[in-house]
Homo-oligomer: A and B are copies of this chain.
């Protein structure tokens, strides 16, 4: 019998999540049944949507999230002992999984993609759900054309940093907004963004007028709020916006979403199209994104940085640090 640990959210977050909102529960795992596997977690992902979706679930609930794990015992020939699997089983150290039970696409368990020798942690980052989010949100909804100007907010995050680099690969001018001067410098000097700005200190209106004198064609929105209203107000005719998240509002009371300058006048004047999305929409095509992303990263066309926290008992700290913008690149926990 295996003694396992998991993070359980015992009450809804008020503002920034607190350690007391979680219990780390120890429990005995049952012996695996036919079709099932027992896995030991190696990498755990902390992501903004784990904050955003909190109010949707009745407490207590097991904290969901992507993780990479190695199979330790198997009664499923598709996942033999020693093979590695990506699942949405969340913040646990050991898990019994039935790969045939997947009530929604996001619950599907899949084998570690071919990472071409790159770190396996990428399977919960740039070659995982966040990478697919950047890939499909940008390419399917923004549809950037060579020579166009693309703006991304949350640009130094797991998704934003990939979005900007894919847009560069597609021949676009890329402008990023991030939350510190260090991140801005990293985006411009390491990742090849044409311009990056610290949204906390810059006058975004005039910065954009200078950096995007021909206007903005595509906007990949991770933050919402006033910054998004400013960007949308400087878009060109038939501009496209992919709305991935609204981290600016995540720590607020869900019944009191913040106000921002309304975007409808800009939508009409420039005939803009704005689309919100969840990457599970393209779950049956994730492998396609993973193949491209692994190729781009291993060839050096896309650079990936990770913000690694070590230890299962540090997952909460990594989570809150990510929400506070302490990470540059993808925040992951090595178990």
Contact = CB atoms under 8 A, between A and B. Distances in A.
Interface of A: 52, 221, 224-225, 228, 243-246, 249, 257-278, 281
B281 A277 contact: no
A267 to B, nearest CB: 3
A262 B259 contact: yes
B261 A243 contact: no
The complex is assembled from copies of this chain, and their number is: 2
Given A228-B264, A261-B258, A262-B246, A273 B271 contact: no
Contacts of A281: 271
Contacts of A273: 273-276
Given A249-B264, A267-B276, A272-B276, 7 more contacts: A224-B264, A228-B262, A228-B264, A243-B264, A266-B276, A268-B278, A274-B275
A275 B271 contact: yes
Given A267-B274, A273-B275, A274-B275, A260 B257 contact: no
A267 B243 contact: yes
B258 A262 contact: yes
A278 to B, nearest CB: 6
B267 A271 contact: no
A277 B281 CA distance: 26
Contact of A262 (B52, B257, B266, B277): B257
Contacts of A277: 268, 271
Nearest to A233: B257
List the 10 shortest-distance A-B pairs measured between CB atoms, nearest first: A267-B276, A224-B264, A246-B264, A259-B259, A268-B276, A260-B262, A274-B274, A273-B275, A243-B267, A246-B265
B261 A263 contact: no
